[in-house]
Structure 1
Amino acid sequence: MAFLRRAFAALPVQLQRPIVRVMKRRRQDTRLQSVATLTQQALGDLRPLRTIHDPALPPRIMLVIDSIVPEQLMGGAGTALLLAVALAQARDCGICIVTRQQRHDLPALHALLDLQGAAFGGPIEVRHFTGAAGDAPVPLGARDLVLTTSWWSTWAARHAVPLEQIVYLLQEDERMFYPGGDQQLLCAEVLDDTRLRYVVNTQLLLTHFCESATAGPTAHGIAFEPAFPASIYYPIAHGGRRNLFFYARPNHPRNLFLRGIATLERAFAEGLFPVEDWDVHFFGIDVPRIDIAGRPIQYHDTVPWADYAQLVRTADLGLSLMYTPHPSYPPLDLAASGAVVVTNRFGPKGRTNDYCDNILYAPLSIDGLLDALRAGVERVGDTETRRAAFDRAALGRDWATSFAPVVAALADVARPGASS
């Protein structure tokens, strides 16, 4: 051993360091670790909510959500806030928001509500609870309706909240977020919990859950259709050039970024969007600058709600892919603003066109998407047909109307003494 120590000491420092790292790792690997520790390391989001019962609390809507920051208020997070407001207004109560990951931005929250025509004058309390040992428990009353917004927030709430008080807002088949493994299994177990109530974003998604025999939403799911207020979503004139929008999210596999740019490369190569007539816009975070046949591309990274709406009003044709059963918001945003949009079929999505005839559903082959883009260009040029499809679109324009079935279905939740 003394010989080995001397030989090691004679080595250059740059050779000693990796050997030391390996030895330390081996020593660490021999330490016993608990199941809870290993689970926490692998599944950091799964920290149970801790509550403390407070019988003096008035009724509230408790919204359990990852964060309230401006860049995450578009789409699902914004919908969760709007549903919490609709439930609070119906019950004439306040709102308690529990953020689990990032902290909150209340001005951004109120700006969203004002923009969507859902201003809330009641009390809003915000607490931040990550599940760390030093976090204070969240006060919970018997008349609090606890609105969870993901399978992991639902999992956390089930450890600390009576099940009859939990309502799970389900806006995607969240099993599809993961490859086969522990996370997908845990998600599936939450979705199969028939003791919970489920509010499902769109009838399409609820149909998918029923067809896939997902026990929870099949037994206790109520669907709603999102709203697109006419004060936000409408077409505006924008000169002689046309605008092609691509929903580009390279870090979200479900949005099929590579299939989208491969399709656009073919489309540009065949002259489908002549550079003298069309401007190209990519919407999404962390989109690399791409050379697609030398075509100029305008990139829109993190865009505030009002700016996003202004841009969407100028769209003529959109390409927005989502490899899940939910229709996703961008195609509906575009159609509600007068654009034509190409998106993909998936399960019940695309079997019928229940929203707007300017939404063109296609198979996900490049040839199939190209055919749809060709049809889209033709529809853009047929202004009379395009306008008629926009005028008769079955897209809701008022959130109160959209949420009315949900509010009615949940009237007995977290109301002791009410019949179930």
Structure 2
Amino acid sequence: MIWQRVMTLIQERGWKYFVYKVVMKFCRQIDSFDFTTARKPLPEFVYMGVTPTNNPEIETLRLRDSDDYALELPFKGNLHVKKSAIAAIIHIYYPELSSEILRYLRHIPLTTDLYISTDTDAKKSEILQQFSHYGNGSIVVKVVANRGRDIAPMLVGFKDVFDTYDYFIHLHSKKSPHSDGGLLDWRQYLFENLLGSEAIVRSHLYLLEHHVGVVFPQHFAPLRININWGYDFTMLKQLLKRMGVALNSEQLLEFPSGSMFWGRTDAIKPLLDLELSYSDFPRESGQIDGTLAHAIERSFLYVCEIAHYKWAKVARREYYPLKKTLLPTSVEQIDTLLPRVYRPLFNRYVDGGGRLDSTLPEYSRYNTYPSSCSKPRLNLMVPTINAKEIFGGIATALRVYNALQTALGHACDYRIIVDIGKISEETKANFPRYHFATNVIDDTVAMQVVETVEHKQLHIRKDDLFLATAWWTASSALYLLEDQERFFNVSHKLLYLIQDYESHFNAWSASWIFAENTYKASERIIAILNSEELALFMSRRYDFYDTYYLPYTINAGIQKQLQSVTRKRQILFYGRPTVARNTFDIIVDALALWQKRNPITSQSWQIVSLGEQYPDTYVSHVEHLHIMGKAPLHEYATLLSESMIGISLMVSPHPSYPPLEMAYAGMKTITNSYEGKDLSQRSDTIVSLDILSVEAIAETLERLCDEIETNGFSTTEHGVSALDIDMKPFCAQQLSDSLWS
């Protein structure tokens, strides 16, 4: 019994999960050891610990210094940018810095209108005098309340300005008086990296023209240790909640420290839409943290992603000491280098800590990255493609995928995402046109297989379509669609090959809930239902966006190899002890009962078990039984041709293939009904039991054997009928014509 449970666990969840369960059982005996709650950042990341003054409330997830890359300024190559007016939104609290700011602004090669805020009329007069010779655009100077530092004047005082411009730069007269002189060079560092030369400005604008929403200088080196949540997490969480986004403390923190940056106006629109007012900001009292302005400073990149844009960090080599993390950049390399700089903030960069990570390892969410490749792509999501691990469900998935690939042709690329099994070398030979990878850097490959067992990372294109083939792949795919919508502001449907009512595989459990949730996302799903019976069952329960069904057809390889031979007194049954819905225990006990009731006639009958290997102790009480396991196709066809009786049960609305294949080959076949499923409607050779029990199967088997002994074996071969249902049969060409419409 223990061996059966071990084999079941390994076959359903894999060796890694089995080893994990053994280790966990051992660890539970040791009170001082419990790693179910351990949080482990991915290798490039680290937690900045809590300190009394620097990071007083919660830990902060950050990139390690050695993995925190920036694009090196200025970029090489043709930095041509379109002619477009720019808004420079500048808060000048210290008017004595006006001439310095003006000197840097002269490096902008395009018309730039200045919108300057300050807090007194006297400062306004001084600023106007300093900028009197500015000739590259208009100037507006506004006196505002001394609230919210440089943030409130931009988002409240000049909110209407953003309606007029595509691009802007945000600056302020930074002195950092609270630093006791430790950050005196910070302002120069920011100005040099934002406006240090015309080539630097053009580099920023080039990024903004290529779907980057915010560009900001890499963190000032002396400040790196202070990049944390501070006292601002709760306020930031509330701010993002108003934008419809939930923040948690395990998300990566990244922001333009110093709050100076280049941006697209669309990239901060969710923040502008909050309609903040000056009264939302506290009066100025020298605060160094814990205000709405500090929370907004930490929000800019989250807002940028909410608005469907990427962000980028840049730096000049002469001003940044961590030289190895600066990526020399040409315009031709930006698409290749940007993934090393931009880390989507809503990804999950921490492993462990949740029960589902251990109890349902297949239920996982990918870390995703927006691809710059514009070619449409069809993605098949399957547990494995190894030949020895492929049963009917995966074989059907590959058949549907290949049919769509034939219909789509060279109009799109193709990717197979393997989420559980390790891909064998033998398998690679079966997919000669595909490039195999575990961690994809180049997303322009036309045909690839990505193994994601250890690296849950995927690039997503704007026109990626996903074909899910099991509930957990559908669950992952729905998350991928969310990420795709956040990256590109598109809303594609999910192709969902529903091969059975998977909720009931998992008996009122978390798996049951998650499987059910995938069906309930019906408005996003184009369902491809794997049989007429299943299509009728699912359509009564769920209102999918669109629905197709796969009419049953005999496997072409089986059909070709069926033979007209003399039948043997042989019973073929589908025996898979690891799959509960195939009711292995009921079948073998029914066979044993039939033999006990017919001790003489049963001696002339052989029994063959197909499906999977298992210990012979499972069937030690059944005589004349041979365990064949998963048979090659030609051997399976031979067994179908020469056997007289078949038994294949499926406690679900899907008929499964074996009973229909047995009936097609002319065998007398015993199966079961299920909520409207009655396979006897398809063939006179099928007996569909309404009440499934050991006794019912034994009695039916006895009756069929008696009929054969009395009347001889006779049957109508190749007699499985189609069911006429009011639904669209799957047609790859018809479906492919509408996929991206």
Structure 2 length-normalised TM: 0.46
Residue 355, structure 1, aligned to residue 682, structure 2: yes
8 Å CA contact retained: 1:335, 1:358:
yes
For 1:369, the equivalent position in structure 2 comes to 697
Deviations, residues 134-181 of structure 1 (Å, cap 9, x unaligned): 55x433333333101111111111122345242111101111111212
Structure 1 counterpart of 2:31, one-letter code: R
For 1:125, the equivalent position in structure 2 comes to 448
For 2:610, the equivalent position in structure 1 comes to 283
Deviates more, 1:232-241 or 1:221-230: 232-241
Residue 84, structure 1, aligned to residue 401, structure 2: yes
8 Å CA contact retained: 1:198, 1:216:
no
Which of 439, 442, 460 is the matching residue for 1:140?
460
Q: Secondary structure at the match of 1:28?
A: coil
Structure 2 counterpart of 1:208, one-letter code: F
8 Å CA contact retained: 2:567, 2:641:
no
Which aligned pairs between 1:73-222 and structure 2 lie closer than 5 A? 73-93=390-410, 94-104=413-423, 105-108=427-430, 124-130=447-453, 132=454, 134-135=455-456, 137-161=457-481, 162=484, 164-194=492-522, 195-211=524-540, 213=541, 215-217=542-544, 220-222=546-548
For 2:31, the equivalent position in structure 1 comes to 25
8 Å CA contact retained: 1:313, 1:337:
yes
Change (3 A) 1:287 1:379: farther
Structure 2 counterpart of 1:223, one-letter code: Y
Separation of aligned partners in 1, 2:422 and 2:550: 28
Deviations, residues 289-339 of structure 1 (Å, cap 9, x unaligned): 256666221111233334333333322211111111111111112122222
Larger CA Rg, structure 1 vs 2: 2
Separation of aligned partners in 2, 1:232 and 1:149: 23
8 Å CA contact retained: 1:71, 1:303:
no
Deviations, residues 47-80 of structure 1 (Å, cap 9, x unaligned): 2133433343533321011111122323000000
8 Å CA contact retained: 2:557, 2:633:
no
Separation of aligned partners in 1, 2:37 and 2:389: 40
8 Å CA contact retained: 2:37, 2:354:
no
Residue 39, structure 1, aligned to residue 352, structure 2: no
Structure 1: segments with no counterpart, 5+ residues? 1-19, 111-122, 397-401
Structure 1 counterpart of 2:640, one-letter code: V
Q: Secondary structure at the match of 1:232?
A: helix
Deviates more, 1:246-255 or 1:306-315: 306-315
Separation of aligned partners in 1, 2:470 and 2:28: 39
Deviates more, 1:375-384 or 1:137-146: 375-384
For 2:572, the equivalent position in structure 1 comes to 245
For 2:585, the equivalent position in structure 1 comes to 258
Separation of aligned partners in 2, 1:199 and 1:339: 29
Structure 2: segments with no counterpart, 5+ residues? 1-25, 40-249, 251-351, 433-445, 485-490
Change (3 A) 1:296 1:49: same
1:281 deviates by 0.4
Separation of aligned partners in 1, 2:677 and 2:613: 28
Q: Secondary structure at the match of 1:348?
A: coil
1:359 deviates by 1.6
Which aligned pairs between 1:267-416 and structure 2 lie closer than 5 A? 267-271=594-598, 274-275=601-602, 277-290=604-617, 295-350=623-678, 353-362=680-689, 363-377=691-705, 386-387=715-716, 390-394=717-721, 404-405=730-731, 407-409=733-735, 411-413=737-739, 415=740
Q: Secondary structure at the match of 2:450?
A: strand
8 Å CA contact retained: 1:245, 1:319:
yes
8 Å CA contact retained: 2:397, 2:469:
yes
1:258 deviates by 1.4
1:257 deviates by 1.3
Separation of aligned partners in 2, 1:126 and 1:64: 10
Separation of aligned partners in 1, 2:552 and 2:401: 14
Separation of aligned partners in 2, 1:383 and 1:153: 49
Deviations, residues 31-57 of structure 1 (Å, cap 9, x unaligned): 787995333222211221334333435
Q: Secondary structure at the match of 1:282?
A: strand
Higher relative contact order (CA 8 A, sep 6+): 1
Structure 2 counterpart of 1:203, one-letter code: E
Separation of aligned partners in 1, 2:37 and 2:458: 35
For the aligned residue pairs, the C-alpha RMSD in angstroms reads 3.2
For 1:15, the equivalent position in structure 2 comes to none
Structure 2 counterpart of 1:75, one-letter code: G
1:244 deviates by 0.6
8 Å CA contact retained: 2:382, 2:418:
yes
Deviates more, 1:31-40 or 1:225-234: 31-40
Q: Secondary structure at the match of 1:324?
A: coil
Separation of aligned partners in 2, 1:252 and 1:196: 27
